[in-house]
Amino acid sequence: MFEKVLAAKKRITGHANITPVMTSRTLNHLAGAEVFFKCENFQRVGAFKFRGAFNSILQLSDEEKARGVITYSSGNHAQAVGLVGKLLNIRTIIVMPDNAPATKRAATEQYGAEIVEYNPDEAEREQLARDLQKKHGYTLIPPFDHPEVIAGQGTAALELLGETGKLDMLLVPCGGGGLLSGSAISARGMCPDCRVIGIEPEVADDATRSFHTKTLHRVKNPPTIADGTRTSSLGKLTFPLVLEYVHDMKTVSEEAIKEAVRFLFYRMKLVVEPSGALGLAALLSRSVAAPGRVGVILSGGNMDAAVMRLILGDN
Amino acid sequence: MFEKVLAAKKRITGHANITPVMTSRTLNHLAGAEVFFKCENFQRVGAFKFRGAFNSILQLSDEEKARGVITYSSGNHAQAVGLVGKLLNIRTIIVMPDNAPATKRAATEQYGAEIVEYNPDEAEREQLARDLQKKHGYTLIPPFDHPEVIAGQGTAALELLGETGKLDMLLVPCGGGGLLSGSAISARGMCPDCRVIGIEPEVADDATRSFHTKTLHRVKNPPTIADGTRTSSLGKLTFPLVLEYVHDMKTVSEEAIKEAVRFLFYRMKLVVEPSGALGLAALLSRSVAAPGRVGVILSGGNMDAAVMRLILGDN
């Protein structure tokens, strides 16, 4: 799998941003560790998702490209697929619930993606996407459970470890497990002693339970502010990868997530969405003990005004 | 003067951050230019002010250092002097109005600075600082009108031009003119063809009027959201420097300033305070015509929740 990440890195070079690694004296003092933030909020479309979308779509055959790509997402993956389609001149179709926020829909449409609406009370998005795929011959690029999507997401940790050298620990947000398993594969390849820990909201702890019990657990519409982690469960590919490559899973409270977003805003001047701040939340709330050199992936920065205003007003 | 900036750069190296230069494909497309942002929001204390404070205070004699440093400011300069005092183990006294926001006062006190309050209806801050200076033998480090403060502020543009190479235009916020004159001195030294343009809020346009009439104009408590530019006028040193080194002055509306802060938040994932966003406001509102390669100094990122919430809610 590590070879797939290395190959992905070659494919995305010159297309994805090499995002900066930032540090904070204040945080190092607070955490008693030397912390390196990989700033995927500065990635194209504002989140790491561009990496996996580009890596997977680029490898389609000319015939597949001509038929178009479909996916289901109302979040960062939708925007990533839309932008990659625009860059590679490929038709993209996004299955999105009819109650998706207007801003997210507009952000996806601006890249030229076609939106197919569905009523989430009546239909199931994966099934709808598969039906359209069969009918029209589209290629499905799912948000995380795809080997080339996972390999693409792994390039963020690859770049981080290439820049920082040896790390003792790497903290990675976990939704469907694409970023987490990709990061863990990179860490195993680059720095086998680095402990990779996945972080989830307490109220969306399906992957943490799945990891500890080795049985797949699910959540349904968990009430977390970290909307990127509301995915119902790990996938067929990501679950075994997480079991094999990840060292531990930890959870953080909603309050810890908001506190981390505030720290990034006030002290580091970074706009990071709640899902993106999970690793810092674990450090600040001491959900993980972190001596030594610690990498934290800030996975994205797409947040609407209502969420930011809620978080800033909440103290 | 350029030699002073070069000497300042040597002094601050290893103490001030070399802040990153960032770009935005979206903005380049919108502005029809290639824009380079010097991100002083990532400077220590969250603003360029650390540069001038460190450069000036480091050069005091041991006797002056032992007696302590005084200044007047309720903003970023106060925090900068406080932090430099802490780093160099020098006592610092800040004259601050008794109605200064609690957050700004707390941020200054956390560095160990002593606050002297005054009632702005009864006293004038410069006079109060001078009285205390005489009485106690402190050294006054004013917020902008001081040759070594100006030279220190000039190091931001020096770093920017060193990284980008030749620029056609440089846009710099203007309050008291320390950053603007320092930047213009650096541009003259590094890239004499670069047009340096100072940007002010329309409702605080004293420096623009002073520049065009060659007579010093003043404003009193202008109602701008860009609190770093509420300074009443250019100074005895900065006014002639602005006349000599700066090519033009332009103003932007309050709405353009808010729009620029929103663009930085949503599209670039950067927290930049209103004063820091003036250069981008000039680009987005077409107050300046900007073909070619344009540098923009994002001067700081210190903004409290109320200001951010107001700006995010205002569209």
ipTM: 0.95
Task: Express each pLDDT in B73-94 by its tens digit.
Answer: 878 999 999 999 999 999 999 9
Task: Express each pLDDT in A236-272 by its tens digit.
Answer: 999 999 999 999 999 999 999 999 999 999 999 999 9
Name all domains of chain A by residue range, CATH numbers in brackets.
Answer: 2-47+147-313 (3.40.50.1100), 50-140 (3.40.50.1100)
Residue A63's CB: how many other CB atoms inside 10 A? Answer: 9
pLDDT band at A221 (very low <50, low <70, confident <90, very high): confident
Question: Tokens in use for B235?
Answer: 């100074």
pLDDT band at A314 (very low <50, low <70, confident <90, very high): low
**Integer Rg of chain B from CA:** 18
Q: Nearest CB to A269: which of B271, B313, B315?
A: B271
Beta carbon pairs, A and B, within 8 Å: 44
Q: What is the mean pLDDT of residues A197-206?
A: 98
In the prediction, which pLDDT does B292 show? 95
Q: Could you give the residue numbers annotated as active site of A?
A: 49, 299
Contact of B134 with chain A, judged by CB distance below 8 Å, is answered with: no
- Chain A residues with CB under 8 Å of B46 CB are 269
- Closest chain B residue by Cα to residue A308: B309
Most distant CA pair in chain B: distance in Å? 57
In the prediction, which pLDDT does B314 show? 56
Looking at the predicted structure, is the pLDDT value of residue B44 above 60? yes
**Exactly one of B38, B49, B65, B250 is catalytic; which is it?**
B49
Q: Angle, to 10 degrees, between the axis of helix A147-164 and the axis of helix A49-58?
A: 130
Establish whether B166 is a catalytic residue. Answer: no
Q: Do A22 and B42 touch (CB under 8 A)?
A: yes
Q: Which of B26, B42, B261, B269 to mutate to test the interface with A (most CBs of A within 10 A)?
A: B269
Nearest-CA distance B40 → chain A (Å): 10
Contact of B308 with chain A, judged by CB distance below 8 Å, is answered with: yes
Looking at the predicted structure, is the pLDDT value of residue B65 above 90? yes
- Closest chain B residue by Cα to residue A303: B266
Beta-carbon contacts of B215 under 8 Å, excluding residues fewer than 6 positions away, are: none
Q: What is the mean pLDDT of residues B236-256?
A: 98
pLDDT band at B126 (very low <50, low <70, confident <90, very high): confident
Question: Tokens in use for A294?
Answer: 């610690």
Contact of B1 with chain A, judged by CB distance below 8 Å, is answered with: no
Nearest-CA distance A100 → chain B (Å): 18
pTM value is 0.95
Nearest-CA distance A146 → chain B (Å): 28
Residue A218's CB: how many other CB atoms inside 10 A? Answer: 11
Q: What percent of chain A has pLDDT over 70?
A: 99
Output the CA torsion sign for B261, B263, B266, B269: negative
Looking at the predicted structure, is the pLDDT value of residue A315 above 70? no
- Closest chain A residue by Cα to residue B262: A305
**Integer Rg of chain A from CA:** 18
Return mean pLDDT, chain B: 95
Task: Express each pLDDT in B192-231 by its tens digit.
Answer: 999 999 999 999 999 999 999 999 999 988 999 999 898 8
Task: Express each pLDDT in B265-302 by its tens digit.
Answer: 999 999 999 999 999 999 999 999 888 999 999 999 99
CA distance A308 to B271: 12
Q: How many residues does chain B have?
A: 315
Question: Tokens in use for A51?
Answer: 């990496």
